[in-house]
A and B are shown apart, each in its own frame.
Chain A
Amino acid sequence: MKAAPMSRVFPIALNTFREAVRDRVLYNLVAFAVLMSGAAILVGQISVGIEKLVVINLGLTAVSLFGVVISIFIGIGLVSKEIDKRTLYTLLSRPVRRWEFVVGKFLGLVGTLVLNTFFMAIGVFGALLYVAHHFAKPDAWVLVALYFIILQFVIVTGLALLFSSFSSPLMSAVFAFSLFIVGAFAEDLRGFARMTKGITRWIATGAAYLVPNFSALNVITPVAHGQPVSGQLILYNTAYALIYATMTICGAVLIFERRNLK
């Protein structure tokens, strides 16, 4: 019995994905589809020359908000449910290490969100096609914006997992959502910190660098205006999201390895 950890992480990830799908998480797509088609039809009728702008802005914002809510909701729900309902008992009495559970759970959740985003992206492009009748080259940047949105979900899911490793579901949701809001202004926060002095500066700078940086991951507005996104930004955003998510997972593992189950 010297199987690699991945031989347990992947089944756990897969099972998490299966749970999300069977728990009808993907039903949100129905609401999204209604929103997108409604917006497309409405905007198509007003026709004041900014149809594409509105569709991209609205579509990507909705993808982002839907996804964040779902990340937090299933990230916390699925983990605390395992602790609350004690399904973990029969899992952890098998040759499964706690860190394998955390990592597997994380991968499964991210997989679910990627699939969910994929369907929503189809909705956005469908609406785009409806109002513009054809795709143009700058529409490819919408894909980059969607990729950045997925990177946001990766971070949010990590945070949700981290909080639910030690806190109640409700508090975890509150923490994760507040950090999402604060993180949207992370760049301003670092600016604030730079303007302070003395010990405040140390604390403020520490906090500003610790909160997740969602500002750089939000390129919805420029992309809606057909502006390109630099390759460097794609590279560093990817690096940042992966690093930050790893950080949250390490934190979750450290706490969860020590935690007494209910």
Chain B
Amino acid sequence: MKRSQITMVAGSLLVLCLAASVLTLHRLDELRSHATLEEVLYVSSPQALKRISLGYSGLLADIYWTRAVQYFGSKHVQGAEDYKLLAPLLEITTTLDPKLLVAYEFGSNFLTAKPPQGAGMPDEAVALVKQGIRSNPNEWHLYYDLGFIYYLDLKDYRNAADAFARGSRLPDAHPFLKLMAALAAQKGGEAQMARMLWTTTFETTTNKDIKANAAAHLRALQVDDDVTNLEALQARYRDKTGHFAASFSELESAGMLRGSPRDPLGAPYKLAAEGKVEVTDPDDLPFIEKGLSIGYIPPPKPKILPVD
């Protein structure tokens, strides 16, 4: 065998092995999709892990942070009912790097949300964010997150008002916080408060998952508002004419409406029996409480449209 032949053989073998190694890696990744994550079940103490990291805890925190995001992402597309590793993963991440603010924010959003949108564990979320506040007492965003959970998920208005108030006193705090503190103290204005909270989240977050989630909530609030208004319109029409309008053009000719109304995603609303108003495609609008046809079953995989 000459040198050129050896080169040929070694070269082809190299390429072949490269391809084969990629295939094997795919197979291995399938086999072990959760193996690395399940480590948290073994090394359950974040403190121990911090010691093991030999001072490179920042790097390890980044690794655990990506693991947490990936874990959530992969569970979410499956429409999972439980997210039992999300809390420990985030706890490890934030113990390793207590300044990783995005991890607290992520936790406050997705630990609280009910399955399949999140882990449905608001108490763990509260613990996580409180730990964040201890490590970062000057981050208004953490007080905001805490107030958010107390207000919307736990309906604990006193604690919510307290969290918002403490946050609002910090430098750079979002001006809404003062307002939120006042509203929460009055235990009122649920719809207005919810809109304000989600808007603040949408405007201030840098994480695209959190942003998309906030956008979906804002759309849902909008739809619920629209449907309430349109149904009120139908009721008035019936009062006037004795029957419900069969189409939006009837409402239009009665001078009660201009143009046919559309949902935040641009799809037209539909008029249903009994003066009800429905959205065309409820799958695109998770979190809506109104405008759903009777017996509507949400898809197993919730659809959160990405923000651009």
Point out residues on A near B: beta carbons under 8 Å.
97, 99, 185, 187-188, 190-192, 194-195, 209, 213, 215-216, 221-222, 224-225, 230, 232-233, 236-237, 239-240, 243-244, 246-247, 250-251, 253-254, 257
Contact = CB atoms under 8 A, between A and B. Distances in A.
A99 B14 CA distance: 14
Contact of A250 (B14, B28, B38): B14
B248 to A, nearest CB: 41
A146 to B, nearest CB: 18
Contacts of A239: 20, 24
Nearest to A57: B42
A16 B27 CA distance: 35
Contacts of A244: 17, 21
The binding surface of chain B is classed by DSSP as helix
Given A192-B66, A195-B66, A233-B28, A221 B43 contact: yes
Interface residues of B, number: 31
A246 B9 CA distance: 12
Contacts of B25: 190, 209, 213, 240
Contact of B7 (A222, A246, A254): A254
Contacts of A215: 32, 35-36
A97 B1 CA distance: 10
The binding surface of chain A is classed by DSSP as helix
A7 to B, nearest CB: 15
A237 B32 CA distance: 11
A209 B21 contact: yes
B31 interface: yes
A253 B32 contact: no
Contact of B21 (A232, A237, A240): A240
B121 to A, nearest CB: 24
A257 B7 contact: yes
Most A C-beta atoms less than 10 A away, residue of B6, B10, B36, B69: B10
B53 interface: no
B67 A188 contact: yes
B307 interface: no
B22 interface: yes
A213 B25 CA distance: 8
Nearest to A238: B24
Nearest to B20: A243
B42 A225 contact: yes
A97 B7 CA distance: 12
Contacts, number: 86
B240 interface: no
A53 B226 CA distance: 61
B13 interface: yes
The 4 closest A-B pairs by CB, nearest first: A250-B14, A247-B17, A240-B24, A250-B10
B274 interface: no
B250 interface: no
A236 B28 contact: yes
A36 to B, nearest CB: 20
B29 interface: yes
Nearest to A186: B25
Most A C-beta atoms less than 10 A away, residue of B28, B35, B36, B42: B28
Nearest to A239: B24
Nearest to A240: B24
Given A221-B43, A225-B42, A243-B24, A187 B29 contact: yes
B17 A188 contact: no
Contacts of B186: none
Contact of A190 (B24, B27, B29, B35): B29
B134 interface: no
Nearest to A208: B25
A192 B196 CA distance: 34
A195 B70 contact: yes
Contacts of B32: 187, 215-216, 233
B72 to A, nearest CB: 12
Interface string B37-71: 01100110000000000000000000100110110
Interface in B1-23: 1, 3, 6-7, 10-11, 13-14, 17-18, 20-22
Nearest to A233: B31
A221 B35 CA distance: 11
Most B C-beta atoms less than 10 A away, residue of A224, A230, A254: A254
Given A188-B36, A191-B67, A195-B70, A243 B42 contact: no
B27 to A, nearest CB: 5
Given A221-B42, A253-B10, A257-B3, A247 B18 contact: yes
Contacts of A225: 42
A183 B147 CA distance: 42
